[in-house]
C-alpha cells in the first residue's frame, strides 16, 4: 500500500484533499461573472452599451432575455432593449421581422450576438468597460 510505505495515513490525505476542494468551492476559483457589481457600475455599463449603437432584441416570454436583463438589475431599463412580441402573445412585431431568435444582440459594426452574453462579451463587442 502506498500509505504503508510512506508512513502517511489515508485520513490525512482525505483531509488535505477536502481542504483543497472546499477552498475552490469557497471562491478561490470564482468566475468573473460571480463578482459583485454595484448599481452605479451596472448603470454606467448599460448606458455605454446604448451609446455604442448596440441593440438588444428580446421577448417577454424568453427566460434567457430575463436572465440577461437580471444581470443589470434595476439598470436594465437603460439597455437598448427592443421587445419583439406583442404583450401576452407570441405574435412577432414588424420591427423584429429580421430577428430569427431571442435573445439577440446586434452591434454597431453589424456583428450579431446570439444568446445570453457575459459582461466581458458585451464589453468586447461594444468597446465599453465591463464592471
Strand partners, 55: 106
Q: DSSP code of 102?
A: S
pLDDT tens across the length of the chain (131 residues): 554 555 666 555 554 444 444 443 444 444 555 668 899 999 999 999 999 999 999 999 999 999 999 999 999 999 999 999 999 999 999 999 999 999 999 999 999 999 999 999 999 999 999 99
- Name the region of 30 (left: φ>0; alpha: ψ -120 to 50; beta: rest): beta
CATH class of 35-126: alpha beta
Residues 64, 112: Cα–Cα separation, whole Å: 16
User: Which residue ranges make up each domain of the chain?
Assistant: 2-30, 35-126
Taking each helix axis from N to C end, the angle separating 119-126 and 39-51, rounded to the nearest 10 degrees, works out to 40
SS3 state at 84? coil
Amino acid at each position: 500500500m502506498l500509505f504503508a510505505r510512506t508512513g502517511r495515513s489515508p485520513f490525512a490525505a482525505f483531509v488535505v484533499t477536502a481542504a483543497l476542494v472546499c477552498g475552490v468551492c469557497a471562491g478561490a476559483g470564482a468566475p468573473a461573472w460571480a463578482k459583485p457589481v454595484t448599481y452605479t457600475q451596472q448603470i454606467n455599463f448599460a448606458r455605454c452599451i446604448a451609446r455604442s449603437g448596440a441593440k438588444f432584441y428580446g421577448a417577454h416570454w424568453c427566460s434567457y432575455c430575463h436572465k440577461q436583463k437580471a444581470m443589470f438589475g434595476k439598470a436594465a431599463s437603460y439597455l437598448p432593449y427592443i421587445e419583439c412580441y406583442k404583450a401576452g402573445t407570441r405574435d412577432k412585431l414588424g420591427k423584429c421581422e429580421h430577428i430569427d431568435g431571442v435573445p439577440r444582440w446586434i452591434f454597431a459594426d453589424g456583428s450579431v450576438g446570439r444568446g445570453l452574453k457575459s459582461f466581458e462579451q458585451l464589453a468586447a463587442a461594444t468597446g465599453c468597460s465591463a464592471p
